[in-house]
Amino acid sequence: MMRIAKPSIFYCVLLLVFTTIGCKQNKKENQSEMETAKTESEQNPIEETIFGEMPDGTKVKKFTLKNEAGMEVDVITYGGIITRWTAPDKQGNYEDIVLGFDSLEQYLDGSPYFGALIGRYGNRIANGKFSLDGETYTLATNDGDNHLHGGEKGFDKVVWNGVAKNTDKGANVELTYTSQDGEEGYPGKLDVKVTYTLTADNALDIQYEAVTDKPTVVNLTQHSYFNLSGQLSKQILDHEIYLNADAYLPVDGGLIPTGEFREVAGTPFDFKEPKLIGKEIEADNEQLDLGKGYDHCWVLNEGEEDFGLAASAYHPNTGRLLEVYTNEPGIQFYSGNFLDGTLPAQTGGTYVKRSGFCLETQHYPDSPNQADFPSVRLNPGETYSSRTMFKLSTK
């Protein structure tokens, strides 16, 4: 019995050893499965690096958002600036499609709002003055006699707090900033949150939110200069623009809307069918003279959807198509007329006149002084909420 028992004990021990090893191996397999799962859920890791340092020592972070398709968007905490944004052409080649700089110093030295978040007020406020509840507020006049893009130190020149995470909608970065009561002359302490989300289908979804503790005015936007050719120092005149607007806002010599809503039909301002930027930009037209090209706000047609297609830009050579969706009532189409070839381009050469165009979704310029324009007033207890999506594809 013993003789029989001995081998059976031996086999039992052997079995136990194997089972244990087997279990361990299973555990290992499970573990590596878990690791794969973890990698899958974090398959678009968001890189976080230091982009530079402010003169006071504050570190400026850079987040790189990526999606499965291969698109990458670099966002820095200084100004919430999009410094790089890669998109495929029709052959699948990814290239940077936004004007920007390689270093923080260049942004600090003077940037024409490349890629920046704009606040508290996108575009101009006449004579840097507006009234609210009988009180007059005086803002910086940083553009001739007028106030432009939030003043001397707008939201494009402050360091935001940035937190990045992967969500079921895609990789995102949430930027927050508190603008103190009286900052740049505006009333109310304003808490602002801007979320950039890069989706799987090559769209950058931007959600803006703000709350105030006193009645104030708010009009936030994004000031990316696009050049879909990927050759950032080349002119953008060969892009076709579509604007879903029957009217635009003519301006005076200081680029302040006159208050008139003018029909685009039969004018160089008609982009109801896609049209090359270069086609009529040099036409003999008083409004083009005043803007030195296109630098106007189009009154977006109200569609059935709250969040409809406002504009698109198409670059036939590369096949890149940019679509802009928004719930804002206006879009400033600016054809980069003030660029003058003095700033170095990331892809070599310089940023020459009209080497980038902007499609800034927003409420109309100078709304605080124009009773017929949709209101930009924000009261305590309300939440400012605005959404714009830039979607890229090829055709």
The residues that are catalytic are: 223, 360
Q: Does the protein bind ligand GLA through residue 254 (CB under 6 A)?
A: no
Q: Binding string to ligand GLA for residues 83 to 122, with x set by CB under 6 A, is what?
A: -----------------------------xx---------
Among residues 110 and 134, whose Cβ is nearest to ligand GLA? Answer: 110
Q: Binding string to ligand GLA for residues 213 to 242, with x set by CB under 6 A, is what?
A: ------------------------------
Q: Does the protein bind ligand GLA through residue 358 (CB under 6 A)?
A: yes
Among candidate residues 361, 339, 332, the one with its CA nearest the CA of residue 257: 332
Q: Does the protein bind ligand GLA through residue 123 (CB under 6 A)?
A: yes
Q: Does the protein bind ligand GLA through residue 130 (CB under 6 A)?
A: no
By CB under 6 A, the count of residues binding ligand GLA is 11
Q: Does the protein bind ligand GLA through residue 249 (CB under 6 A)?
A: no
Shortest CB 77 distance to ligand GLA, Å: 21
Contact criterion met (CB below 8 Å) for 328 and 360: no
| Cα of 276 vs its chain's centroid, Å | 23
Q: Which stretch binds ligand GLA (CB under 6 A): 32-40, 258-266, 332-340, 344-352?
A: 332-340
> What is d(CA 196, CA 80) in angstroms, rounded to the nearest whole number?
9
Q: Which stretch binds ligand GLA (CB under 6 A): 40-48, 190-198, 331-339, 381-389?
A: 331-339
> What is d(CA 230, CA 162) in angstroms, rounded to the nearest whole number?
28
Q: HEC states along 171-216?
A: EEEEEEEEECCCHHHCCCCEEEEEEEEECCCCEEEEEEEEEECCCE
Q: Is the dihedral of CA 97, 99, 103, 104 positive or negative?
A: negative
For residue 295, report the phi and psi dihedrals to the nearest 5 degrees: -160, 65
> What is d(CA 188, CA 181) in angstroms, rounded to the nearest whole number?
4
| Contact set for ligand GLA, span 287-326 (CB under 6 A) | 295
Q: Does the protein bind ligand GLA through residue 338 (CB under 6 A)?
A: yes
Among candidate residues 54, 62, 151, the one with its CA nearest the CA of residue 100: 62
Shortest CB 141 distance to ligand GLA, Å: 13
Among residues 84 and 147, whose Cβ is nearest to ligand GLA? Answer: 147
> What is d(CA 143, CA 209) in angstroms, rounded to the nearest whole number?
27
DSSP β-ladder status, 147-148 and 161-167: unpaired
Q: Does the protein bind ligand GLA through residue 334 (CB under 6 A)?
A: yes
Residue 20 tokens read as: 């244990």
Report the interface residues with ligand GLA, using CB under 6 A: 112-113, 123, 148, 255, 295, 332, 334, 338, 358, 360
